[in-house]
Structure 1
Amino acid sequence: MGIAGLTGCETPEPRSALSYAADAERAYNQAMEEFTSHNWIEAQSLFREVKRKYSYSKFARLAELRIADADFEQEKYAEAIREYRQFVHDHRSDVEEVGYARARIAEAQYKQISESFLLPSADERDQAVILDAYKELKGYVHDYPTGKDSQKIRELLADVTARLMRHELYVARFYLQRDNFDAAVLRIQYAMRNFALGPQLAPATPGKQPRINPNAPEPVDSGLEAEALLLLGEVYLKMHKFGDARDTFNAILHDYPKSPLTVQANNYLDYMRERGV
């Protein structure tokens, strides 16, 4: 056999760009078959092969997301978050895929919240986890207000915000029961400034009640803002800060006219008028 014949046997025919892309897509689809069958471990193994063999194709990037998705579906949220974050870091120019990864990070953070968060025994780790979820959810809504997942993320954000509000009001009532009025006021004001979904309070100046913040984002009423204001008004009454109490009860009537708590706010205002305070 001549040299030409030997060379022909030993040198593989180079693949074209078209065949490379077709092979990448075929391998990705085979991995997706395992993924849709919930064979997570096998699917991840095949996706890693796609990444290794077809690193210059778009299917390698998609495989990275599916590997993270498989961890997400197995409730391995910490691993999934790390993988999604790595994707965001490595592929900043892939706007649609980065938006998807950001949404999944936010949702994974949400799913890590312990159901024990609102119990009296809630520890600092619970607080850190829910605050991380709040930041991720809020960040996604800010960066992708019209994104494909924005409605779902907004609903999760509303739930997390309500949990944070309830926690702060629980702590405020704890202080109120112990006649620590200043601490109760500070916790309610903190909750309203940071977690209120309705009209938000601007930072208070010393000796003055915080006012509605005109620069706050468009509100979504969670139902807890009126409750927070009612509690704040009750604390002011106990402190004999009648002007602040009156302003707070009137804020409920003005900003939350459909709230059932307007009845109690009106009752308190009538009580104060009857006593001339």
Structure 2
Amino acid sequence: MRKFLLPLALIALLSACSNSNQTVERVPEKSPAALYQDAQEALEVGNFLTSIQTLEALASRYPFGPYAHQTQLDLLYAYYKSGQTAQALATADRFIRLNPTHPDNDYVYYMRGLVNVEADGEILHDLLGIDRSDRDPGLIKQAFDDFSKVVSRYPDSKFAPDARQRMIFIKERLARHELSVANYYIEREAYIAAANRGRYIIETFGDTRASEGALEVMVRAYEKLGLDDLKADAEATLRLNFPDNELVSKS
């Protein structure tokens, strides 16, 4: 895997340098409708940099015209597709702040969730088989909140079903992070903290795959603390839900 990662990283670096060195041509003076049409044509063929350049010119020259809102929505999409996460997040935040009741805010929250997932990088790590459950989950928590807003505020939105599925994936990611913290506490012999974190996982992420590991942590922590009743309760729950688990299958 390492043999492939270096060439891929080099290609990405060279591509980024190439894009940054491109000569930016001045957007011609046209009507708002013509500029918007140019931007749409660039979007349709995947020429996101040209589309961004045109949309930014349109937003700057005609900030209050009939295309003002749609220009910002298209910029959000183009920034996301071109990997410009900071600009995409800023565009989403600004749009929601200035248009709190806009009918397309379900789309904006959904896109902001996608951008935060992209910034977190968890999908790439999964594809490469890299376990990064120990990393700061701040961005993925924000993504979960964004998708949650779509589901709760706009239940009939066409983006709600996909947002709901992404929340399930993110919940697994957050549960893995909490479990990595609990196991760290076990390694550091901080058994009270480990038991508390295990209980938090069961209470908050009980429907995820991390629940088995959380119960294991609780059993080990309570045993070290000499809390036999709590250990027995954790073991009973582990046996009931995961009868093949090594901690209870032979006992």
Q: How does 1:210-221 map to 2 (within 5 A)?
A: 221=207
How do 1:192-231 residues align onto structure 2 when only pairs under 5 Å count? 192-194=202-204, 196=205, 198=206, 221-231=207-217
Structure 2 portions without partners, runs of 5+? 1-30
Q: Indicate whether 1:158 and 2:158 are aligned.
A: no
Contact 1:103 1:140 in 2 (8 A): yes
With normalisation by structure 2, the TM-score equals 0.71
Secondary structure, aligned partner of 2:64: coil
1:47/1:67 contact within 8 Å kept: yes
How many residue pairs get matched? 214
Cα 1:236–1:154 shift into 2, 3 Å? same
CA 27–177 in structure 1, closer or farther in 2 if over 3 Å, else same:
closer
Q: CA deviation at 1:104?
A: 0.5
Do structure 1's residue 233 and structure 2's residue 241 form an aligned pair? no
Say which is worse superposed, 82-91 or 42-51, in terms of deviation. Answer: 42-51
Identity %: 20
Higher relative contact order (CA 8 A, sep 6+): 2
Using the size of structure 1 for normalisation, the TM-score is 0.65
Cα drift, residue 164 of structure 1: 2.1
Correspondence for 2:64: 55
**Structure 1 unaligned regions, length at least 5:** 1-22, 199-220, 272-277
For 1:12-161, list aligned pairs within 5 A.
Answer: 27-51=35-59, 52-53=61-62, 55-57=64-66, 59-95=67-103, 97-115=104-122, 118-119=131-132, 122=135, 126-161=136-171
Query: CA RMSD, aligned part only?
Result: 3.0
Task: Give the Cα–Cα distance (whole angstroms) in 2 for the partners of residues 263 and 147 of structure 1.
Answer: 42
Q: 1 CA distance for matches of 2:188 and 2:56?
A: 58
Deviations 1:19-69 (CA, angstroms, capped at 9, x unpaired): xxxx75554333201111222232223334544348342x32111111121
More helix by share: 2
Query: Which structure has the greater CA radius of gyration?
Result: 1
Report the Cα offset of residue 101 of structure 1: 0.5
